[in-house]
């Protein structure tokens, strides 16, 4: 009994530290990831104290449209769309404006406040940027949606044009730790990722950047990833858990245990306390039946399908949120 009380006090102390604006030490971060599974519920209760302070019981919903698929020259080991992947995925150039607008209407039907336009590739061509800008302007004029774009590495003038068109947020994930980066991809660098996030901020768009857990990183590297996102001041942090797709270099990687995934979410809540922490790709196969518990640390979900993999039924997500006694945030603006 005394051990349980001591552990609970330890997690509550981390919550208090997070709420005061202090950053966890490396040792404290590791203690979260290495906690006994018996301590996950008190750990989540402490994380929920922080989450509730900043977001109450509201849940932000985001929807992705895969605006360009399967034609990427990058060699990212986790991605079914990369040039080194043999996975059977749809291949098409950038979707036309009407299709992007239809996707925005679908996002509203799913009660998503944020619509994410994602295009595989190292960076957009001028023609692709023109198409995205045209669609974004019409969405902004006709629908109350927050728009997030994810188009790869940007040039200054491209970032400026997206911001002027009305893109609220730009996503460019760090994905893994700096030390682990070259084992995941060699066609761009970790520093290029950081530079793009900083460029987005310079042009007035909200930075969205996250990670993929389960790509051979150590626990210390997971803590360092959280530190990096705190350092760049990412407003929105998608936490993906690797979905090892057949035909990709990481196809044989094991899934992240559900309890470990919950500890990761608690860690990011403590280190980035005021930020939108999103349970993102791979949640269905890694968290499995424990998905509802993730929302005690996270305050955001992707609804519907991901880029090339299927997501949970939208109705099931809405029901999960209702059953928790939480509330969907209908407007992200």
Radius of gyration for the chain, computed over Cα atoms and rounded to the nearest angstrom: 19
d(CA 265, CA 296): 9
How many CB atoms within 10 Å of residue 16?
Answer: 13
d(CA 199, CA 54): 27
Do 57 and 327 contact (CB within 8 A), yes or no? yes
Do 110 and 59 contact (CB within 8 A), yes or no? no
Binding residues: 72, 76, 79, 116, 148, 208, 278
* Burial environment of residue 227 by CB neighbours within 10 A (0 to 12, 13 to 18, 19 or more): middle
Length of the chain: 333
The SS3 call for residue 181 is helix
d(CA 302, CA 283): 9
Binding residues for [2Fe-2S] cluster: 116, 148, 208, 278
258 membership: H or E segment, kind and range: helix 258-271
Binding residues for [4Fe-4S] cluster: 72, 76, 79
DSSP 3-state percent helix, strand, coil across the chain (nearest 5): 45, 15, 40
Do 83 and 132 contact (CB within 8 A), yes or no? no
Do 104 and 332 contact (CB within 8 A), yes or no? no
What is the β-pairing status of strands 327-329 and 276-279?
unpaired
Ordered DSSP codes for 212-248: EE-SS--HHHHHHHHHHHHHTT-SEEEEEE----TTS
């Amino acid at each position: 009994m005394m051990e349980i009380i001591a552990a609970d006090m330890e997690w509550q102390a981390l919550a208090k530290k997070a709420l005061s604006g202090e950053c966890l030490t490396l040792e404290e971060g590791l203690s979260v990831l290495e906690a006994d599974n018996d301590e996950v519920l008190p750990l989540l209760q402490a994380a929920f104290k922080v989450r509730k302070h900043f977001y109450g019981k509201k849940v932000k919903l985001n929807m992705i449209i895969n605006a360009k698929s399967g034609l990427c020259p990058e060699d990212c080991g986790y991605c079914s769309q990369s040039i080194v992947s043999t996975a059977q995925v749809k291949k098409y150039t950038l979707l036309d404006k009407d299709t992007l607008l239809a996707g925005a209407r679908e996002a509203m039907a799913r009660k998503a406040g944020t619509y994410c336009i994602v295009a595989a590739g190292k960076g957009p061509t001028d023609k692709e940027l023109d198409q995205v800008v045209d669609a974004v302007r019409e969405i902004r004029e006709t629908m109350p949606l927050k728009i997030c774009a994810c188009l790869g590495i940007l040039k200054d003038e491209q970032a400026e044009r997206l911001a002027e068109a009305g893109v609220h947020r730009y996503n460019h994930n760090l994905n893994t730790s700096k030390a682990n980066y070259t084992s995941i991809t060699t066609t761009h660098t970790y520093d290029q990722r950081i530079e793009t996030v900083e460029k987005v901020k310079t042009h007035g768009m909200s930075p969205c950047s996250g990670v993929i857990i389960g790509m051979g990183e150590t626990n210390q590297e997971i803590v360092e990833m959280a530190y990096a996102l705190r350092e760049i001041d990412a407003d929105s942090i998608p936490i993906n858990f690797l979905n090892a797709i057949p035909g990709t270099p990481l196809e044989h990687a094991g899934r992240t245990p559900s309890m470990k995934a919950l500890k990761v979410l608690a860690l990011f809540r403590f280190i980035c306390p005021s930020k939108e922490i999103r349970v993102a790709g791979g949640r269905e196969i890694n968290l499995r039946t424990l998905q509802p518990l993730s929302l005690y640390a996270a305050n955001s979900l992707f609804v519907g399908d991901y880029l090339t993999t299927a997501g949970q039924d939208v109705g099931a997500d809405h029901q999960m949120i209702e059953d928790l006694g939480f509330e969907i945030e209908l407007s992200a603006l």
